[in-house]
């Protein structure tokens, strides 16, 4: 059983990361709740939404905001922005990028589900900008959890044309997208220092032992990413 995470997240007083497939298919909320219980996190304190590859960000800036979302977990959105304690947020992925952004002291954090459409819609830039605007951040750290990497993310010209030329890798007549480079570029534009963004090379599509992958399997099985602030 493996949880992929960033030591800086833990040092900031936050709990979270991306779980390997060994924890189960996180589309099943009872499986998710089992994970939280194991970690001594009250499952009812983890917020959920319905992901649609949009650029919609849900702000949780008060206990009222959290309670409102907890009562209506089916709203469409793809990123969380949190400045309160005692709550956590979850997203599900199976090749898309789980983007973790957090203040060095854990006073504010964000978690975004970034598929290629979300990246093209500039969700990384918008989420980082919204996080800065909370006024609660010193240095902001970024961490990209396991997702489909450039080795496996082959696209056709119509999709490739929506990315920066510098994010594309052409090989043997094929085109591959490097989402890491695209996201780093957007975060830099939002004012983050590229040196503060970590992109560990875990490929969901290439590592069947540890990850679910929509592109590889075409089965609806999801990995869980979450951040909780005790």
Size, binding site for Zn ion by CB under 5 A: 6
Q: Buried b / exposed e across 99-113, counting CB within 10 Å, b at 16+?
A: bbbbbeebbbbbbbb
Q: How far is the CB of 121 from Zn ion (least distance, A)?
A: 24
Q: Which of residues 123-182 bind Zn ion (CB under 5 A)?
A: 149, 151-152
Cβ proximity to Zn ion: between 121 and 167 the closer is 167
Crossing angle for the helix pair 179-189 and 123-133, to the nearest 10 degrees: 30
Cβ proximity to Zn ion: between 127 and 213 the closer is 213
Q: How far is the CB of 207 from Zn ion (least distance, A)?
A: 7
Report the SS3 class of residue 218. Answer: coil
Cβ proximity to Zn ion: between 58 and 203 the closer is 203
Q: Which of residues 184-213 bind Zn ion (CB under 5 A)?
A: 203, 205-206
Name every residue whose Cβ is closer than 8 Å to that of residue 44 and which is 6 or more positions away in sequence. 70
Token representation of residue 94? 């199976």
Q: Which residue is nearest to Zn ion (CB)?
A: 206
Cβ proximity to Zn ion: between 48 and 216 the closer is 216
Contact 56, 77 (CB under 8 A): yes
Q: How far is the CB of 185 from Zn ion (least distance, A)?
A: 21
CA 167 to chain centre: 19
- Residue 34 interacting with Zn ion (CB under 5 A): no
Residues 89, 91: Cα–Cα separation, whole Å:
7
* Chain contacts with Zn ion (rule: CB under 5 A): 149, 151-152, 203, 205-206
């Amino acid at each position: 059983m493996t949880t992929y995470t960033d030591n800086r997240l833990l040092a900031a007083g936050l709990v979270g990361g991306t779980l390997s497939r060994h924890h189960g298919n996180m589309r099943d909320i009872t499986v998710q709740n089992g994970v939280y219980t194991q970690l001594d996190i009250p499952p009812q304190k983890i917020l959920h939404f319905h992901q649609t590859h949009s650029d919609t960000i849900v702000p949780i800036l008060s206990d009222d905001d959290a309670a409102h979302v907890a009562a209506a977990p089916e709203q469409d959105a793809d990123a969380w922005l949190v400045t309160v304690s005692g709550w956590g947020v979850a997203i599900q992925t199976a090749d898309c990028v789980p983007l973790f952004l957090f203040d060095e002291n854990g006073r504010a954090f964000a978690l975004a589900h970034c598929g290629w459409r979300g990246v093209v819609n500039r969700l990384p830039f918008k989420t980082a900008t919204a996080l800065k605007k909370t006024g609660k951040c010193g240095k902001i750290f970024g961490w990209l959890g396991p997702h489909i990497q450039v080795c496996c993310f082959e696209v056709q010209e119509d999709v490739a044309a929506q990315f920066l030329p510098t994010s594309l890798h052409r090989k043997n007549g094929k085109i591959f997208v490097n989402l890491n480079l695209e996201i780093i570029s957007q975060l830099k534009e939002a004012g983050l220092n590229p040196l503060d963004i970590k992109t560990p090379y875990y490929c969901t599509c290439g590592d069947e032992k540890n990850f679910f992958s929509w592109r590889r399997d075409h089965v609806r099985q999801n990995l869980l990413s979450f951040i909780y602030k005790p």
